[in-house]
Amino acid sequence: MIKDKGLSSILHSVMSNSATVIQDRYYPRWHLAPVAGLLNDPNGFSFDGEYYHLFYQWNPLSCEHKNKCWGHWRSKDLIHWHHQPIALLPDEVYDKDGCYSGSAVIYNEKLTLCYTGNVKFENGDRTAWQCLAVENKQGSFDKLGPVLDLPEGYTGHVRDPKIWQYKANWYMVLGAQNLNKQGKVLLYISSDLNQWCLIGELAGSYIGGLDDAGYMWECPDLFELEKHFILLTCPQGIKKEEERFLNSHPSAYLIGQFSYETLQFQHGPLIELDAGFEFYAPQTTLANGRRLLFGWMGVPDGDEMHQPTIVNGWIHQMTCPRELSIKKGKLYQQPIKELEQLRQNPQYWQGIADHIDSIDYFNVELAIELEVSTLFSIYFSDTMELSINNHQAILKRRSFKNGEWKYRYWSHSVKKLQILVDSSSVEIFFNEGEGVMSSRFFPSEKMTITFSGKNNISLTAWQLSDSI
């Protein structure tokens, strides 16, 4: 629990570390990252008609998964973000071990947060409360306390409320684990955000045609998109396949139909949302007709604690903001159009990949069209390589822990690539967003991007300006 000295120790940590943090050569130039400490999930992503709000899981005091607060940024354009007062500190008995993830809505004209108060006991057990907090005139948040305790039949792993309004009612999806250690998503309904009624299990392991799909489903998000319904979820413990779900904590979605009358969700199989090395706990919001998404470019696995930024007092970053759409029954993700404002000095090449000059800028966007019949590869300095053959993309990166090469796959044929590079991250969009791979990487020397292959490609490269 961060007690009274919480704010002053946070201030001290931020003031004494932020200069080192932002001078780190791996610190992002146009992605969101913490000014000190550890950042994880995007929370409370919302639009109030004037500002976009993005909150985030934040341990301002160290690079460990502890002391989870809610940091807060806001922006008018999704590109330039401004720090706001810390929104939530774990300083009450019902949230003493962390103000865990949740969402934000406008209720009675006020920005209102719904989050999980996490409480751990000495014997290793835990409990969780779903809690509310409301913005005050100073731009900080007044806690209103718990509105929901643990449902019967579930362990203490019940968290990450995502709430939304439909007609006269409010709905909540909540990540949960039942007593048989099966991951589930629970659906609740309310007329006032205070009294919640459990409808039942919306999806999860052993529901709707799924088999064992993991022991805990974190960070659910249900929304309608172009006449389909999508449920985003993070199925912890889902079985690794040869080329899918290779991260220790993967992120996935179900697509189908949800009925507000029967409150049932019919869906197909689980599909991986991002096939890269670092992507987890995404959250969306609807703003001016667009469904927008931020993800955490991190995964809580053992390897994360070997990232080289820790010595400079910070770890992890967000993805770029993305827009979602549906094409031929599939979910597509693309960087939002506004990011084109960062493009500078366009350069064009056309010809055999082997003959293309290397690119030395640190922050760059590449748009590539290719006809692959033999192998085409892109090398990101000495630590990462993307290879494309006629039916598959393979991303290879050295482990942060022991330097061994590790592999990730997107098994479809690739015709177009859009690649966004920041100081220590790469987001690769295949075929206009049909597939995505998000990964961090830490080049040992200066950044150089080189190409190899015998095929013709056309390439546009832009240097990206700083935004944050």
Instruction: For residue 57, state whether it binds ligand FRU (rule: CB under 6 A).
Output: yes
Three-class DSSP category at 14: helix
Question: Tokens representing 57?
Answer: 């899981």
Instruction: For residue 218, state whether it binds ligand FRU (rule: CB under 6 A).
Output: yes
Written as one string, the DSSP assignment of 373-414 is SS-EEEEETTTEEEEEETTEEEEEEE-TTT--EEEEEE-S--
Task: Name the residue nearer to ligand FRU (CB basis): 205 or 383.
Answer: 205
Task: Name the residue nearer to ligand FRU (CB basis): 97 or 135.
Answer: 97
CB 432, min distance to ligand FRU, A:
29
Question: Quick one: which of 41, 399, 70, 64 has its CA closest to 234?
Answer: 41
Instruction: For residue 68, state whether it binds ligand FRU (rule: CB under 6 A).
Output: yes
Question: Quick one: which of 373, 342, 370, 339 has its CA closest to 451?
Answer: 370
Q: What burial class does residue 202 get, using C-beta atoms within 10 Å of its C-beta: 0-12 exposed, 13-18 middle, 19+ buried?
A: buried
Rounded CA separation 6/204 (Å): 38
Instruction: For residue 72, state whether it binds ligand FRU (rule: CB under 6 A).
Output: no
CB 116, min distance to ligand FRU, A:
6
Rounded CA separation 298/278 (Å): 5
Instruction: For residue 219, state whether it binds ligand FRU (rule: CB under 6 A).
Output: yes
Instruction: For residue 40, state whether it binds ligand FRU (rule: CB under 6 A).
Output: yes
Q: Which of 95, 97, 160, 365 binds ligand FRU (CB under 6 A)?
A: 160
Where do the DSSP E strands lie in 167-264? Answer: 169-178, 183-190, 197-204, 216-225, 228-236, 252-258
Question: Quick one: which of 363, 326, 383, 353 has its CA closest to 461?
Answer: 363
Task: Name the residue nearer to ligand FRU (CB basis): 41 or 278.
Answer: 41
Instruction: For residue 103, state whether it binds ligand FRU (rule: CB under 6 A).
Output: no
Identify which range of 96-104, 304-312, 322-330, 418-426 contacts ligand FRU by CB under 6 A.
96-104
Instruction: For residue 233, state whether it binds ligand FRU (rule: CB under 6 A).
Output: no
Q: What burial class does residue 430 get, using C-beta atoms within 10 Å of its C-beta: 0-12 exposed, 13-18 middle, 19+ buried?
A: buried
| Contact by Cβ (8 Å): 369, 457 | yes
Question: Tokens representing 267?
Answer: 């869906």
CB 234, min distance to ligand FRU, A:
7
Interactions with ligand FRU, residue window 277-296 (CB under 6 A):
280-281
Tell me, by CB under 6 A, how many residues bind ligand FRU.
15
Instruction: For residue 97, state whether it binds ligand FRU (rule: CB under 6 A).
Output: no
Instruction: For residue 41, state whether it binds ligand FRU (rule: CB under 6 A).
Output: yes
Instruction: For residue 159, state whether it binds ligand FRU (rule: CB under 6 A).
Output: yes
Residues known to be catalytic: 41
Enumerate binding residues for ligand FRU (CB under 6 A).
40-41, 57, 68, 98, 100-101, 116, 159-160, 218-219, 280-281, 300
